[in-house]
């Protein structure tokens, strides 16, 4: 039991959620290691959402609202950490939800689909036979996608991604939005918009921002996207990490 007054209670509770997700077959063991790497960056960020991430969240919400055919790609860590927010974000933006795993097994696909449905998802793409399309020039299991989902999407939201697929999606002409605590990762660099923040903070913020921007005219939304420079934003995040949290 983690005492709620522990100075790092939130971080410890997030670990518990991942371990619980691991026991329920949502998260793969490697996902726990990936989270540890993320935690190290988060520690350097001061475990709070920095200004560049707030800007990135706003631009990402605008871009999701502008997209005609957006898909939220869900892996094991995302399913364990923020299933409710994934479903909410899909609801606000009209995006589809697709399970896409690096360490793909039928059992995990089904467990993640069930978890999303438990939180209100009406349709979950990419499971079983549905993942019949292929992302070209990608050899990992992540190449298997749903023809009605990621394969046809104009915009793909891929939190905690591996760089290969983010690059391959960009080569296919798709817009990529990611959440990655590591501003130096290939994913962070390949994406149109990278939110350098912890997923547990950025997902509720994205839902809130999408709600606030919904109904704004397309020109206003487009301006938010056009004014966002991903390279510049990554450099700002890196400066915070290198300089110590302010
Ligand atoms: O569920 P699967 O089978 O699809 O596997 C998922 C993992 C995460 C294991 C897989 O995608 C993987 O190995 O990812 P990587 O290549 O380790 O990349 C994960 C990235 O996410 C790293 O750059 C981490 O710093 C970052 N990261 C980890 N936890 C968080 C995070 N970024 C934001 N919020 C987090 N909580």
Averaged pLDDT for residues 51-80:
98
68 CA → ligand 1 middle, Å: 27
Contact 97, 124 (CB under 8 A): yes
Does the beta carbon of 101 lie inside 6 Å of ligand 1? yes
- The single-letter DSSP state of residue 142 is G
Q: Which residues pair with 145 in a beta bridge?
A: 133
Does the beta carbon of 49 lie inside 6 Å of ligand 1? no
**Residue 12 is encoded by which pair of tokens?**
């410890």
**CA distance linking residue 63 with residue 9, whole number of Å:** 33
Averaged pLDDT for residues 192-215:
98
23 CA → ligand 1 middle, Å: 18
pLDDT at 137: 84
Does the beta carbon of 38 lie inside 6 Å of ligand 1? yes
**Residue 93 is encoded by which pair of tokens?**
């933006």
pLDDT at 149: 98
Give the C-alpha distances (Å, rounded to integers) separating 55 from 62, 90, 184, 232: 11, 20, 18, 11
Burial 95-132 (b: 16+ CB within 10 A, else e): bbbbbbbbebeeebbebbbbbbeeeebeebbbbeebbe
pLDDT at 78: 98
Confidence bin at 244 (pLDDT 50/70/90):
low
User: Is residue 246 scored above 80 in pLDDT?
Assistant: no
Q: Ligand 1 pocket check: which of 34, 47, 143, 167 to mutate, most ligand atoms within 8 Å of Cβ? A: 34
User: Is residue 123 scored above 90 in pLDDT?
Assistant: yes
pLDDT at 17: 97
* Average pLDDT score over the chain: 95
**Residue 177 is encoded by which pair of tokens?**
């939005």
Does the beta carbon of 28 lie inside 6 Å of ligand 1? yes
User: Is residue 186 scored above 70 in pLDDT?
Assistant: yes
Confidence bin at 230 (pLDDT 50/70/90):
very high
**CA distance linking residue 233 with residue 193, whole number of Å:** 9
Task: Considering only residues 199 and 10, tell me which one the structure prediction assigns the higher pLDDT.
Answer: 199
**Residue 204 is encoded by which pair of tokens?**
């509720």
pTM of the model: 0.96
223 CA → ligand 1 middle, Å: 30
**CA distance linking residue 97 with residue 115, whole number of Å:** 12
Confidence bin at 10 (pLDDT 50/70/90):
confident
Q: Which residues pair with 195 in a beta bridge?
A: 179
Coil, strand or helix at 35 = helix
Determine how many CB atoms are found less than 10 A away from the CB of residue 36. 11
Does the beta carbon of 160 lie inside 6 Å of ligand 1? yes
- Please state the atom number of ligand 1 nearest to the C-alpha of residue 187: 23
Give percent of the chain with pLDDT exceeding 70: 99
Sign of CA dihedral 94, 111, 42, 229: negative
Q: Ligand 1 pocket check: which of 26, 42, 110, 160 to mutate, most ligand atoms within 8 Å of Cβ? A: 160
- Give tens-digit pLDDT for 125-173: 999 999 999 998 888 889 999 999 999 999 999 999 878 889 999 999 9
């Amino acid at each position: 039991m983690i005492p709620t007054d522990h100075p790092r209670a939130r971080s410890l509770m997030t670990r518990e959620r991942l371990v619980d997700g691991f026991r329920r077959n949502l998260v793969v063991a490697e996902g726990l290691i990936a989270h540890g790497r993320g935690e190290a960056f988060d520690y350097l960020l001061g475990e709070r959402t920095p200004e560049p991430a707030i800007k990135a969240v706003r631009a990402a919400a605008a871009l999701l609202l502008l997209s005609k055919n957006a898909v939220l790609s869900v892996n094991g860590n995302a399913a364990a950490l923020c299933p409710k927010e994934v479903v909410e974000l899909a609801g606000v933006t009209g995006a589809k939800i697709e399970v896409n795993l690096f360490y793909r097994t039928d059992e995990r696909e089904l467990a993640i689909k069930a978890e999303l449905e438990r939180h209100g998802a009406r349709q979950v793409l990419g499971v079983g036979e549905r993942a019949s399309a292929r992302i070209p020039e990608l050899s990992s299991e992540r190449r298997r996608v749903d023809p009605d989902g990621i394969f046809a999407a104009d915009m793909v939201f891929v939190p905690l991604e591996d760089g290969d697929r983010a690059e391959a999606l960009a080569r296919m002409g798709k817009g990529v939005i990611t959440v990655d605590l590591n501003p130096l990762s290939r994913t962070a660099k390949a994406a149109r918009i990278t939110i350098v923040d912890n997923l547990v903070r950025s997902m509720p913020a994205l839902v809130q921002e999408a709600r606030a921007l919904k109904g704004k005219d397309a020109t206003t939304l487009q301006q938010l996207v056009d004014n966002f420079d991903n390279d510049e934003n990554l450099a700002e995040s890196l400066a915070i990490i290198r300089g110590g949290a302010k």
